[in-house]
Amino acid sequence: MSIAVPLAEHAVATLVATTAVRLIHDWGLVSVPAVVDRARALATVPFADHTAWEVLAALPRTRWLDREQSWFSFTESLGRLDAALDKIFAVIDRDRAAGESVPAIRFDELRAALGRSLIGARQAAAPVLQRCLVELASCTITPATGRRAPDKLSSSLVSRAPQQGTGNDDGSARSPLTHPEAVVVQLLAQAGGELESRTLRLRARDAGMARTTVNELIKSSPILTPIVSPHLPPAAQRVRLVGHRPPATGA
């Protein structure tokens, strides 16, 4: 990687670039101030904000995601954001209603699911995440029809083009889900897509999963949506598969 900066700033340029690579891998998208803060914590010499911006702007893979050129990602890989999207759309695909040709999820739900474990998705403004999904993650965002919503983006539906994944030795497609995630998805699917968290823990234990593993998935996995109610104790809170739509009930 060759970046045109003065020789005296070479060490800073290398630090800023490697910090950006690491944060993009972990967060998917990141702001320049976040890179600067992290790099300064590791730097042995002071450097100006504009120096970091110039380094980031010179990286060939940088894609700016806002007009101010504050948020950015890379064109080749979104790191853990790509992995999270693979998991989410794998779950939605198995839960989609009959007749739906493409799995889709509301933008606000997808944003919340990604934000559970990805700081970038949690901190970025909605239009920034929208641009990242459309331009870098092979997503399509379609305005919802027949809805009266002050925020049309939140109610829009996000779909994603099929991704070229790795395969197993037998030629079958490899699931993006870990084994614990696959077990929890199966348990929730068998229960109609939703369970009390304590019931999920008990059934997962019977399937050989440690309680700590289930707790961690409930806490941060993008494929699970905790349904928090102030009127229920923690053990009675419910957990739902991401994108799951409970069957409509008659009036």
- DSSP for 214-232? HHHHHHH-TTEEEE--TTS
| pLDDT at residue 246, as a whole number | 65
List, for the chain, all residue ranges whose pLDDT scores fall below the cut of 50.
4-5, 7, 97-98, 171, 249-251
Contact status, residue 89 vs residue 103, Cβ threshold 8 Å: yes
- pLDDT tens-digit readout, 93-148: 876 644 556 789 999 999 999 999 999 999 999 999 999 999 999 999 998 776 55
What is the C-alpha separation between 159 and 107, in angstroms, rounded? 9
CATH of 80-160, picked from 1.20.120, 3.30.70, 2.60.40, 1.10.10, is 1.10.10
Q: Is 158 helix (H, G, I), strand (E, B) or coil?
A: strand
Q: What is the pLDDT of residue 98?
A: 47
Cα 185-77-22 angle, rounded to 5 deg: 95
Rounded CA gap, 11 and 66, in Å? 28
